[in-house]
Every structure is written in C-alpha cells, then in structure tokens.
Structure 1
Amino acid sequence: MEAKSLWHTDERQSEILSETFRLAPYCLEVVSAYSAISLGTEKLVATGKVPTEMHQIMRVPYQSGNFAFPVKYGYSIVGKTKENEWLHAMHPHQDCFSISAADAYFFSETVNPMVATQLSNLETVINALWMSKVTAEDSVLVCGLGSIGILLAQTLKEYVGAKVCVLETNPTKKAALQNWGFESCNGQKEYTICFNVSAHADGLQYCIEHTVAEGKIMELSWYGNQAVSLKLGAHFHYKRLQIISVQVAEIPMAYREEQTYRSRKQLAEKLMLEIDYTKFITRIIPFAELPSFFEEIRKDKPNNDFITIVKY
C-alpha cells in the first residue's frame, strides 16, 4: 500500500510525505475518513516541547520517528475496512493504514464517524469523572473549553447532572458557549470540584482561588517542558485543597478490578449514543491542508474552535 501521512520534520515545519508498506498477516487494511486533533498535545509535539525524559513514555501506537524530529504523530483516527466496517484506532494522521485487529475498535453504525474521532478524548473525560467522583450534587467549574473541555462540560451536564459553570477567555468561544446554554462563571462563586483544561497556569490558579474548602481541582492539562508558576501561599493551604492529575492512558487504580480499556471505550461509545456532541465540531480541515494548520498553530494564532478534526 502507498499512504500519505503527516510528519513534523522539525519544530518549524510539517509536511505530508508518501510511504509504502506491506500488509502483515492478520492485519486490517483501513481507509481513513477522519482523525482528531488534540490541540494542546499536538502543539507541544509540533514545536518540540515534549520533555526528553518523556520521549519513550509519550510514544503512541504506530508512531514513527521520535519527538526530537522527524516524527509522525497523531492518536485518534476513524476509517473503514475493505468489508465496509467502521473502526476507531490509535494511529497518526494518515490517509490509509494497516493495523493489528487487536488494535481496532469497531463502533456502532449509529455513531457519527466524525464524533467517533473523539473516543480517545472521551476516555480522558471518563477518567476525570471516575477520579473526581463527581455527582449531581456538585457545583462544578470547567476552565478552558477546547476539545476535552467542551466534551467534559457537556458530559457533566447531561450524563452526571451536575451544576456546571464554564470559564473561557476567548470572546468567540464565550459567545458560542452562551448560545449553547452554558453558564459562565462570575468570579464570585466557589465550586466543589474544578476541572482545569486550559493548559495555562492562570487557569489552574483561578481554580485554586475558586474551590471550596477541602475541594478538588482536577488537572487535565499537559504542559510538556513548560514550567508552571503558582501562588500557593493563600487559598491552597488555607482551604486544604487537593490538586489531582487526570491522565488518559491508564485506568485509575481504584477502577482496575472492574474496568478495562475496552469497557472504558464502550462507555465512551455509550456516551456518544446518548449525548449529541456533533455541534461542538467547529472546524474540519482537509488532510492536504494540515501542514498549513500547524503553521498557524506555531504562530500562536487565536484558536476560536472547540473540536477540530481532519477529513481525508
């Protein structure tokens, strides 16, 4: 097979390159339809900000190259087999590929394949729900409304039934959130649980200053090799707050006896069948335009979108 894939050739440039590969026995041949962009992580990868000590740990399935460049990266893709079956896989941005059958997750035809690109992000959301032990009785803040933030906010509202406020500084996003019925925080309220998905120290600091005594702050952001500066001399110690890391790859220890990677994926699919996330896909990029997209990202242009996906 001949395939085209996105490569970050160095911290300043991305290209679509061709490669030829042979199908291994018992592997699936997949034609890509859509893939997801997890903006925070992929920006760190594209700009060379993955810490050296994390290069091996942060490798994703079917990645080629390494984080010191060049690297072929991406980790959530949806496509069809020759038998016309839809599947989700962990794989870099590529127009066709071959994977082991064990690495494929076949999802229901009733799931929108564009939304199915968010299966991995919803697994992060599920980890956040599990680790926070959030209930309908909680008052909740979601700080930073990118792809995971918006999925989390909607899931907290519709699946958990919690009272959700959102904090977003981008004016375009703030207007959209209001139109979608989300309540913006007013700076006066304190929350029992705050979820920081802003990838910024200011967001985490805001959560520290607006969480009730002995409340929880769930940190979903990944900062790469960027230092984070916080003021911990007041609210943090005085209120005995907890800052808890939420990480996607592993099942939280408290759930490992009852949950597996497959059952978590099945729960993510169930959420997709019960909750309409489609409207949050606000940008669809043709695969051929991906290098230009990453050029925008490297220039730190304002991002007005919630969920961005790639169309092949």
Structure 2
Amino acid sequence: MLEATAFWVVEPGVGALRSEPLREPRDGEVLVRTLRTGVSRGTEATVFAGRVPPSQRNRMRAPFQEGDFPGPVKYGYLNVGVVEQGPPELAGRTVFTLFPHQSAFVVPPAAVFPVPEGVPAERAVLAGAVETAVNVLWDAAPLLGDRIAVIGAGMIGCCVARLARGIPGVEVTLVDVDPSRREVAERLGVGFAEPDSAPHDRDLVVHTSGSEAGLRLAMETVVTDGEVIEASWFGDRPVTLTLGEDFHSRRLTLRSSQVGEVSPRRRDRRSHADRMALALDLLRDPAFDALLTGSSSWRELPEVLARLAADPGPELCHSIDWSDA
C-alpha cells in the first residue's frame, strides 16, 4: 500500500501533517509526485482561521478537497508535480493540478495540466493566481490606452497588473499600504503609489486588497461613469461603503469577479481548461518570479500556515518544497 503525507486544518487555527493511504492508479489515471505547492495566502488564511461563511461553504470547496469547513479539512489548489504513472503522453511530465498540499496523489488525466517547457516548478505554482488574473481582466475588459489602478499588491493584484501592462498604451499603477511593494512593482514594470498619493480619474480600477479602506479608495479614484472590479474575497467580514456621497451622481459601477466560473464575456467559447492552459503559457514570463517571496520544507507547513494566517508580513507567494517527501 502506498502512503502520502498531507496537510490538514484540524480545527480553526490548528494544522497538522497526516499520513494516509494512497491507492494504486487505475487504467487511465495518473499518479503524481508533488514537487511544489503554493500557499494562496488570502483564501488559505481564511480557511485556516475558520472564517468561511456557512452560506459559502459549498461554493468554496476546492476540486480535491476532503473534509468540510471549518475542519477537519484538507484544502489547497496550487500543486506542481511529476507524473510517475499514467498515459504515455503524460508520463514524466511536470504538471499543475488543483490539488491540496500532499506529497503524492492519484487523479484523472483531465485534472492535470502540463507545464510548458522553460517554466520552473516554483513559478508554476502561480498558475492559479494568473488564471484568476486572466478572469479578472476578461471581466474588466480594459481598452487600449486605459489608465488602470490595481489596489492591493498581493499575489492576485500583482498578476493583474503584470498582465494588464501588456496592453498597448495602458498606464498601470499598483497601490498598496506597504512601501516595500514599490520594488515588486518595478520588477513587474508598472507604477506604484501608496494610498495617499494614489492617482485619480482612472478609467478602470481593480480592487484586490481585501480591505474596506481599499474598496473605498477604489470608488474614489475611478473616473466618473467608471467601473470598479471587486476581486477580493472578504469571507465573513462585513464591509461598509459610503454610497450616500457621490456614488450616484458619478454613476459608478461596482462589479464582482470570481474565478469559479469563466467570465461571461468568454464563457461561450472558453472552458476552464482553456483558461488554465493560457495561464500556464503566460508564466513563461520570468517577471512573475518577483512574486516568489519565500519557501519552506513541507515539514514546516503547519507553522508556516499559522504564521501567514496571523501576520503574512511582506510575503506574496510562499511555496512549499516537497522534493524530499
């Protein structure tokens, strides 16, 4: 009997590594040995703290989640590994899978996405974040020459900014309360501002900070008749907006974006698999390495999740090394 090591949130605020049996793959299935996993800081911190609202627990389920919120639950979706057993076209390939933190696993072939040549495993864990950014920009539909602000220089915000930068003529500014994010913005090739100096009259504002103050700033800095795309997820935290001021007179639009479904602008001609393949191809860009801010052994994962949930500090994407598991 094969065995694997997996990370579980045992109860809110408590994580543990567990050994569990791993069945042999059946015909047509793939056995993947994990190389790296990534911590999706905002969402996984919410799960770790037990702050998934009861009304959203079904929607929040990860594709290969086990257990239920608030715990015990095995959760995660940024996994890069090598196919050790499977169809000839996949055997030996490095693949991305929406699988939790686990040393090895068995899934159907349709669940794995080959990582393009030249994309290292550590960078490939960003595929989920880049996929989210693709969906945000499909929802936002920026135009040539737009002045764009991205409020919140976390992993998603940085990915949105880097992708938007590639549109001819656009001006992209990352806005964040942490001045150290300026260096990250420079590596991504975009502008940077702290909230007090955030540019106004932006044609499009994407909000990713997960803070009430950030969303208010987004509404203040978008142009009249403009649109704010809300890409944050607040969990069970209430948010207050001052809609009694100039929200109506400026005819502002606030629209949500969420990666669970392909954007309505592309849903009739792009599948989830198409979107993920695009995200992985976009990761050929080495500028995304600016988002890789920390790495730890799988042995440290319970402590790492607890620390990131309590105080992430300057971390963007913290990856977990499973190569010796």
TM-score > 0.5, shorter chain as reference:
yes
Q: Is the 8 A contact 1:147 1:308 kept in 2?
A: no
Match of 1:48 in 2: 50
| Partners of 1:267 and 1:135 in 2: CA distance | 20
- The structure-2 alpha-carbon separation of the partners of 1:302 and 1:88, relative to structure 1 and needing over 3 Å to count, comes to closer
In structure 1, the residue matched to 2:162 is 154
TM-score by length of 1: 0.94
Question: Residue in 2 aligned with 1:132?
Answer: 140
Q: Is the CA contact 1:123–1:268 (under 8 Å) kept in the aligned structure 2?
A: yes
Matched to 1:310, the amino acid is I
Determine the structure 1 residue equivalent to 2:61. 59
1:97-246 mapped onto 2 (5 Å cutoff): 97-159=105-167, 162-178=170-186, 181-185=189-193, 186-246=197-257
Matched length: 311
Distance apart, 1:305 and its partner CA:
1.9
- Determine the C-alpha separation between the residues in 1 that align with 2:122 and 2:75: 19
| Partner of residue 291, structure 2 | 280
**Mapped contact 2:93–2:114 kept (Cα < 8 A):** yes
Residue 159 of structure 1 and its aligned partner are, at CA, apart by 4.8
Distance of 1:279 and 1:111 partners within structure 2: 14
CA–CA distance in structure 2, aligned partners of residues 161 and 112 of structure 1: 30
- Aligned partner of 2:320 in structure 1 is 310
Amino acid paired to 1:34: R
* 2:18 pairs with 1:7: no
- In the alignment, the residues of structure 2 paired with residue 46 and residue 141 of structure 1 have an alpha-carbon distance, to the nearest angstrom, of 30
CA RMSD of aligned residues (A): 1.7
Q: Determine the C-alpha separation between the residues in 2 that align with 1:20 and 1:161.
A: 54
Query: How much does 1:276 deviate?
Result: 3.1
Evaluate the alpha carbon distance shift between residue 151 and residue 91 of structure 1 in structure 2; reply closer, same or farther with a 3 A threshold.
same
Moved more, 8-17 or 158-167: 158-167
2:35 equivalent to 1:33: yes
In 1: Cα distance, 2:107 partner to 2:278 partner: 23
| TM-score with structure 2 setting the length | 0.91
Q: Percent same amino acid at aligned positions?
A: 27
Contact 2:184 2:290 in 1 (8 A): no
- Partner amino acid, structure 1, of 2:290: K
Structure 1 pair 311–161 and aligned structure 2 pair: CA distance change class (3 A): farther
| Distance in 2 of aligned mates of 1:37 and 1:160 | 32
In the alignment, is the contact (CA less than 8 A) between 1:35 and 1:77 conserved in 2? yes
Q: Secondary structure at the match of 1:239?
A: coil
Deviation at 1:176, TM superposition (A): 4.0
Work out whether residues 134 and 160 of structure 1, in 8 Å CA contact, stay in contact via their aligned partners in 2: no
- The residue aligned with 1:23 is 24
Runs of 5+ in structure 1 lacking a partner?
none
Could you list the runs of 4 or more consecutive aligned residues of structure 1 that deviate by over 6 angstroms after TM superposition? none
